[in-house]
Amino acid sequence: MIKNDPKAEAIIDDMPETARVLRDLIARESDGLAVQECLRWGQPTYIASKGSMLRIGTVKSGDVAIFAHCQTTIISDFAAQFGADFQIEGNRAVVFSKGADIQPEKLRLMVSHALRYKEK
């Protein structure tokens, strides 16, 4: 369950629809976890006590991305499994072009992994 932050929610509301879809996906995958929504670097950020931080933001092109901490294996693990299906930016983000299919059945695996990253 996400503990919402009105400031983060306002920023999401000003972003393209893709950002709201990503936020909803994070909320669904947080079932059974205490996830704090806050702002970090001016971007909506989601932190679980036994997980790694996820952020939703835009890249220079204006496309929406979901960012993970670059010193984790979250993005690289996801890229190894689904890299051909997504636009991966190094070991830090999955980028969604305007109108791109988010493929929630695949992306939810990365989100769930991130929210539980430190449980190992």
CA distance 15 to 91: 23
Q: Give mean pLDDT, residues 19-27.
A: 94
What is the domain-level CATH number for residue 16? 3.90.1150.200
* Kind plus residue range of the DSSP H or E element containing 27: helix 17-29
Quick one: pLDDT band at residue 120, thresholds 50, 70, 90?
A: low
Residue-range definition of the domain harbouring residue 42: 2-119
Quick one: pLDDT band at residue 83, thresholds 50, 70, 90?
A: very high
Q: Is the pTM of this model over 0.95?
A: no
Report the number of distinct structural domains present in the chain: 1
Taking a C-beta distance cutoff of 8 angstroms, is the pair 56, 22 a contact?
yes
| Residue closest to 67 by CA, chosen among 85, 38, 45, 82 | 45
Position 4 pLDDT exceeds 90: no
What percent of the chain is predicted at pLDDT more than 70? 98
**pLDDT at site 31:** 86
Determine if residue 82 is left, alpha or beta; phi over 0 gives left, psi from -120 to 50 gives alpha, anything else beta. alpha
